[in-house]
Amino acid sequence: MSTKSGKNTTGKGAAKLLAVLLVIGFLIYVAAAGLGKNQSGSVNDIKLGLDLAGGVSITYQAVGEEPTSTDMADTVYKLQLRAQNYSNEAEVYQEGSDRINVDIPGVSDANEILQELGKPGSLTFQDQSGNILLTGMDVQSAEAGIMGESNNREYVVSLTFTEEGAKKFAEATTERVGQIIYIIYDNEVVSNPVVRTAITGGQCSIEGMGSYEEADILASTIRIGALPVELEEIRSNVVGAKLGQEAISTSLMAGAIGLGLVMLFMMIVYGVPGVAASLALALYTSLIIFLLSVYKITLTLPGIAGIILSIGMAVDANVIIFARIKEEMAAGKSVRSSMKDGFKKALSAIVDGNITTLIAAFVLWWRGSGTVKGFAQTLALGVVLSMFTALVITRVILGALYEVGLSDSKLYGYNPGKPKKEWKAIDFLGKKHICFVISLAVIAVGLVSMGMNGSKGSGILNYSLEFKGGTSTSVTFNEDMTLEQIQAQVVPVVAQVTGDQDIQTQKVSGGNEVLIKTRTLSVEERQEMDQLLADSFGVDQELITAESISATVSSEMKQDAVIAVIIATIAMLLYIWLRFKDIRFASSAVLALLHDVLVVLTCYAALRWTVGNTFIACMLTIVGYSINATIVIFDRIRENLKTPKLYGDLKALVNGSITQTLTRTIYTSLTTFITVFVLWIVGVTAIKEFALPLIVGIVCGGYSSVCITGALWYLMKKKSYEGEK
């Protein structure tokens, strides 16, 4: 009977393993080659952002008198919101004193975009006699929504007016109950709702839409119509990627090498579980490529950051599980029982760590804009997939490998015949004051550096074009040059004038025109650069034009990002508080997050690293990574608090908990470090600038989780703990 049962088990295990391998093989094929003529689901079908693939560039000019700087800034921000209906990665910035440039990635048909985007014009609310009651400036927000139950749904647009607009609307509706108010955009009636009652609260709903899409279009039209400045389109063209094909190919190569090294590491360290994790990681990578393609999520450098973080978390979940399995085997349990209990005990740490990161991703998507939204999308997608592959796929594969005969505990990293070493906790808390002093000293260096930089007039941080604007120079060369040629030949010539490498280039499709964006140049520097370009490439100086451009990251976008991070931090704090039932866990975790951000900020200030679009993504990646590592240690402390007598006192308990999770912290930091380090080694300049802060953040996150968070919690907890005893 036992032999027959064993054969049946082996057969089932082989069938499971074969099925999983076939699925993984199919998904890898789809990720590489795609389905159908359009290669749907493949890496080649992923929608790339403006920095990686280029897109359409549209320039608008203000109509009438020259607008004020405030009106132009407001227009840029509101046009950014409109452009994000077509891509989260769209960039909108001011050019000169009365022009606005809109760059929309992932498209090549300017006419199609112009038809969809429309000409931004004026929006008015008028009565039946044509009197203007309100303008777009009186509208604060417009959002599509659904009211009622599923069998009686109604699609509406909810309007919120400014304080002044609320007064105007209250007066207008009080006098016109039963009459129509026309909403007119670009001399066309886009909606004609009937006033049913006087509306004095500053909010109203427009009903009667046939679908959510219709309501969304109307809401979007009202938002774009609230522009302070009326614009007209003066030119449009297709521009090439900022980073070029080399950036894509090197990123892919770095990702493949990093992934391969991580898989090799997992198999060497964990044996059979490492094989299961590697197969699950291959499935994860294929799935994320497939979903990015199918859902047309625009991928940019910040998006790559989100994927890198989620890969690290996918490995992290496996490391937590395998460490638990090994602990269960050391306690005398069988391999099968250890696997079952290992997954069960690892579940809370994995779920809590991933949910806190998902909370951050949701808030960043909800409140953020531009690259922040792109980062949040890819991060959320990656986190959900990493949880699925770690908790479901790894478990299935591991069970199948066990059932086909790989059941010896030595294959799972535990040798029962090997003499046990006496377990001894490392006294991390005994060195807490040294760690605190080191951390405070590093942060102080950052603050002093920012103060010194500011006093020199060079800016507290080395802001890039995205943050401070600059000069855009249009050069028509005598021959068609690739972006790689431009990067290798033209950029060094321009750098002779600017004195730095913060130079962005874009190629205009269908000609020899190249846009060169640099820091703000003086008249003398412009003349010097024109002469150098003429001498080096024989270009006609008469065809070289230059305009001042504003930052693509507007003050409103920065404010949105800061607000999003604050809300996300508060939300994570509340979640940790509720899950761990102790505010000290939450507060010490948040303090550690602040520590990590400030340490990386110190590097930006002291080493004058360029602060560009990827700066926000780097900081967000560090926050997500650090909180996940901290959760694992706190989960172990929470578990050990159930049996405090095993440790004697609170200090021993905390030291023991940190020591028990130390291997996991090191391995997770190492695997994520490998991925980013390879990216830094083989990447182009822009990718190196993006990878280096991440490397610092990974090291700092591991350090703070081990040396700072537990110590902070201990200092907050020890008085009440002694009282409880």
Mean pLDDT of 332-341: 90
When mean pLDDT is compared over 44-58, 109-123, 350-364, 445-459, the highest value belongs to: 445-459
Domains 2-47+244-412 and 123-226 share a fold: no
Confidence of residue 95 (pLDDT cuts 50, 70, 90): confident
Average pLDDT, integer, range 133-144? 85
Is the C-alpha dihedral spanning 655, 344, 356, 719 positive or negative? negative
Q: Give just the sign of the alpha carbon dihedral 281, 283, 284, 289.
A: positive
Question: How far separated are the first and last CA of the chain, in Å rounded?
Answer: 55
pLDDT at 179 (0 to 100)? 92
Tokens of 277: 């994790």
What the block records as the tokens of 198 is: 């006087």
pLDDT at residue number 434: 95
Mean residue pLDDT of the chain comes to: 82
Residue 3 has pLDDT above 50, yes or no: no
Q: Is the pLDDT of residue 421 over 70?
A: no
Sign of CA dihedral 356, 361, 364, 365: negative
Question: Has residue 721 got a pLDDT over 50?
Answer: yes
Spatial distance between the Cα atoms of 307 and 636, rounded to a whole number of angstroms: 27
Q: What is the mean pLDDT of residues 273-280?
A: 91
Average pLDDT on 78-100 reads 77
**Fold annotation for 123-226:** Gyrase A; domain 2 (3.30.1360)
* Residue ranges per structural domain of the chain: 2-47+244-412, 60-113, 123-226, 436-457+554-724, 470-549
Residue 245 has pLDDT above 70, yes or no: no
Q: How remote is the C-alpha of 221 from its chain's centroid? A: 28
- CATH class of segment(s) 2-47+244-412: mainly alpha
Section 55-81 average pLDDT: 80
Q: Which of 339, 481, 244, 241 shows the shortest CA–CA distance to 13?
A: 339
Average pLDDT over residues 3-15: 70
Token readout for 673 is 């470090």
Confidence band (pLDDT; 50, 70, 90) for 125?
very high
- Mean pLDDT for the stretch of residues 244-252: 68
Tokens at 121, concatenated:
């014009």
Reported as a single tens digit per residue, the pLDDT across 342-397 is: 999 888 888 888 888 888 788 877 776 666 677 777 778 888 888 888 889 999 99
Lowest mean pLDDT among 1-15, 52-66, 267-281: 1-15
Residues 278 and 267 sit within 8 Å (Cβ to Cβ): yes
Q: What is the 3-state secondary structure (H, E, C) of 97-122?
A: CCEEEEEEECCCCHHHHHHHHCCCCC
Each residue of 557-610: pLDDT tens digit?
677 777 777 888 888 888 888 888 888 998 998 898 889 989 999 999 999 888
633-645 pLDDT tens trace: 898 898 888 887 7
Q: How many angstroms separate the CA atoms of 694 and 672, rounded?
A: 10
DSSP 134-198: EEGGGEEEEEEEEES-GGG-EEEEEEEE-HHHHHHHHHHHHH-TTSB-EEEETTEEEE--B--S-
| 190-204, 429-443, 600-614: range with lowest mean pLDDT | 600-614
Lowest mean pLDDT among 21-35, 380-394, 450-464, 549-563: 549-563
Tell me which of 109 and 418 has the higher pLDDT.
Answer: 418
Higher per-residue pLDDT: 351 or 438:
438
Which two tokens mark 299? Answer: 């991928």
Is pLDDT at 243 greater than 70 in this prediction?
A: no
Q: Which CATH class is domain 436-457+554-724?
A: mainly alpha
Tokens of 664: 């996991």
Instruction: Report, as an integer, the average pLDDT of 264-269.
Output: 90
pLDDT of residue 137: 80
Which of these, 343, 356, 327, 315, lies nearest to 657 by C-alpha position? 327
Question: What is the structure's pLDDT at 75?
Answer: 80
Residue 168, pLDDT above cutoff 80: yes
Fold of the CATH domain 470-549 = Alpha-Beta Plaits (3.30.70)
Whether the model clears a pTM of 0.75, i.e. scores above it, the answer is no
Burial of 595 (0-12, 13-18, 19+ CB in 10 A): buried
Residue 320: predicted pLDDT: 85
Q: How far is CA 490 from CA 6, 53, 188, 541, in A?
A: 69, 20, 48, 15
Token pair in block for residue 238: 């297709």
Report how far residue 345's alpha carbon sits from residue 256's, in angstroms, rounded to the nearest whole number.
Answer: 32
Output the pLDDT for position 1.
39
pLDDT of residue 162: 87
Mean pLDDT along residues 212-235: 78
Q: What is the rounded CA–CA span in Å between residue 281 and residue 670?
A: 16
Residue 256 CB neighbours (<10 A) = 12
Q: How much of the chain exceeds pLDDT 70, in percent?
A: 86
The pLDDT value recorded for residue 397 is 92
Beta carbons within 10 angstroms of residue 174's beta carbon: 13
The mean-pLDDT minimum among 178-182, 478-482, 504-508 falls in: 504-508
pLDDT higher than 80, residue 83: no
